[in-house]
């Protein structure tokens, strides 16, 4: 019985440590996920900017080939 009581006391004493470790792990995972989403948004914004720039250049060339000025195409 004494051994059982010591075991229970040991397990009970470890619970706050496990709670803190779990909280720390959840916080770290949340931070990692938020960082990943921020990088994904930055990547998508950069790609959109590149597409708009490319479209602008293409449309200027199409307008030039059709005899329109840059102002008319814009």
Q: What is the pTM of this model?
A: 0.57
- 7-65 pLDDT, tens per residue? 777 767 667 766 777 778 888 889 999 999 999 999 999 999 999 999 999 999 999 99
- At 3 the pLDDT is 76
Give the per-residue SS3 of 59-72: HHHHHHHHCCCHHH
**Chain center to CA of 59:** 33
User: Tokens 């000025």, residue?
Assistant: 69
Express each pLDDT in 50-62 by its tens digit.
Answer: 999 999 999 999 9
CB 73 within 8 A of CB 63: yes
Q: What is the pLDDT of residue 14?
A: 66
> What Cα–Cα distance (Å) separates residue 46 from each residue in 39, 41, 54, 63?
11, 9, 12, 26
Structure confidence at residue 65 (pLDDT): 92
């Amino acid at each position: 019985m004494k051994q059982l009581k010591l075991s229970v006391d040991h397990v009970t004493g470890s619970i706050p440590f496990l709670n803190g470790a779990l909280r720390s792990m959840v916080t770290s995972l949340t931070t990692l996920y938020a960082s990943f989403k921020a990088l994904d948004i930055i990547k998508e914004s950069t790609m959109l900017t590149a597409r708009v720039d490319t479209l602008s250049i293409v449309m200027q060339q199409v307008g030039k080939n059709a005899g329109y000025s840059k102002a008319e195409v814009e």
